Amino acid sequence: MSVALTTASTVSQKMDPVKPELIHIESQVELLRLDDSGRKDSEVLEQNAVNRDQSSALIAELESSLTRSIPPLSQASLNIPALPPEYLQVHLHESPGQEESQESVTSVDPVFQVPVSKAVQLTTNDAIKTTLLVELDISKTDFSYQPGDAFNLICPNSDSEVQSLLQRLQLTDQREHLVLLKIKADTKKKGAALPQHIPERCSLQFILTWCLEIRAVPKKAFLRALVDCTSDGAEKRRLQELCSRQGAADYNRFVRDACANLLDLLLAFPSCQPPLSLLLEHLPKLQPRPYSCASSSLSHPGKLHFVFNIVEFLSNTTPVVLRRGVCTGWLATLVESVLQPNRHASHADGGKAVAPQISISPRTANSFHLPNDPSVPIIMVGPGTGVAPFIGFLQHREKLQEQHPDEHYGAMWLFFGCRHQERDYLFREELRHFHKHGILTHLKVSFSRDSPAREEQAPVKYVQDNIQLHSKQLARLLLHENGYIYVCGDAKNMARDVNDTLVEIISKEVGVDKLDAMKTLATLKEEKRYLQDIWS
pLDDT tens-digit profile of 419-454? 999 999 999 999 999 999 999 999 999 999 998 765
Distance between CA atoms of residues 291 and 359, nearest Å: 13
User: Any residues with CB less than 8 A from the CB of 222 and at least 6 apart, and which?
Assistant: 262, 278, 282
Judge whether residue 324 has pLDDT over 50.
Answer: yes
What pLDDT does residue 215 have?
98
Judge whether residue 12 has pLDDT over 70.
Answer: no
Judge whether residue 6 has pLDDT over 60.
Answer: no
Distance between CA atoms of residues 393 and 431, nearest Å: 12
What pLDDT does residue 53 have?
58
Judge whether residue 259 has pLDDT over 50.
Answer: yes
What pLDDT does residue 354 have?
84
What pLDDT does residue 452 have?
76
- pLDDT over 90 percentage in the chain: 77
What pLDDT does residue 11 have?
42
Judge whether residue 45 has pLDDT over 60.
Answer: no
Backbone angles phi, psi at 263, to 5 degrees: -65, -40
Sort 495 into a burial class: Cβ within 10 Å, 0-12 / 13-18 / 19+.
buried
Confidence of residue 536 (pLDDT cuts 50, 70, 90): confident
What pLDDT does residue 365 have?
73
The kind and range of the H/E element at 279 are: helix 276-282
Highest mean pLDDT out of 50-54, 201-205, 471-475: 471-475
**What mean pLDDT comes out for the span 518-524?**
98
Taking all residues of the chain, what is their mean pLDDT, rounded to a whole number? 89
Distance between CA atoms of residues 315 and 349, nearest Å: 41
Sort 258 into a burial class: Cβ within 10 Å, 0-12 / 13-18 / 19+.
middle
What pLDDT does residue 95 have?
74
Ordered DSSP codes for 342-364: --SS--TT-PPPPPPEEEEEE--
Judge whether residue 18 has pLDDT over 70.
Answer: no
CATH architecture of 88-94+158-186+193-281: Up-down Bundle (1.20)
Q: Which of the two residues, 318 and 78, has the higher pLDDT score?
A: 78
What pLDDT does residue 406 have?
95
Judge whether residue 55 has pLDDT over 80.
Answer: no
Judge whether residue 46 has pLDDT over 80.
Answer: no
- 15-to-11, 51, 60, 329 alpha-carbon distances in Å: 11, 20, 13, 44
User: Any residues with CB less than 8 A from the CB of 268 and at least 6 apart, and which?
Assistant: 66, 67, 317, 318
**What mean pLDDT comes out for the span 258-275?**
97
Judge whether residue 302 has pLDDT over 80.
Answer: yes
What pLDDT does residue 455 have?
55
Distance between CA atoms of residues 249 and 247, nearest Å: 6
Confidence of residue 277 (pLDDT cuts 50, 70, 90): very high
Distance between CA atoms of residues 417 and 445, nearest Å: 5
Confidence of residue 17 (pLDDT cuts 50, 70, 90): very low
| C-alpha closest to that of 207 among 153, 268, 166, 241 | 166
CATH architecture of 378-534: 3-Layer(aba) Sandwich (3.40)
- pLDDT over 70 percentage in the chain: 82
Over the stretch 209-227, which tens digit does the pLDDT of each residue have? 999 999 999 999 999 999 9
**What mean pLDDT comes out for the span 62-77?**
95
What pLDDT does residue 345 have?
39
CATH number belonging to the domain at 112-156+287-342+355-362, selected among 3.40.605.10, 3.40.50.150, 3.30.230.70, 2.40.30.10? 2.40.30.10
Looking at residue 302, the DSSP 8-state letter turns out to be T
Query: In the chain, what are the domain boundaries?
Result: 88-94+158-186+193-281, 112-156+287-342+355-362, 378-534
Bridge partners for 179 per DSSP? 92, 202
Over the stretch 73-119, which tens digit does the pLDDT of each residue have? 999 999 999 999 999 999 999 976 566 666 666 556 799 999 999 99
Sort 186 into a burial class: Cβ within 10 Å, 0-12 / 13-18 / 19+.
exposed
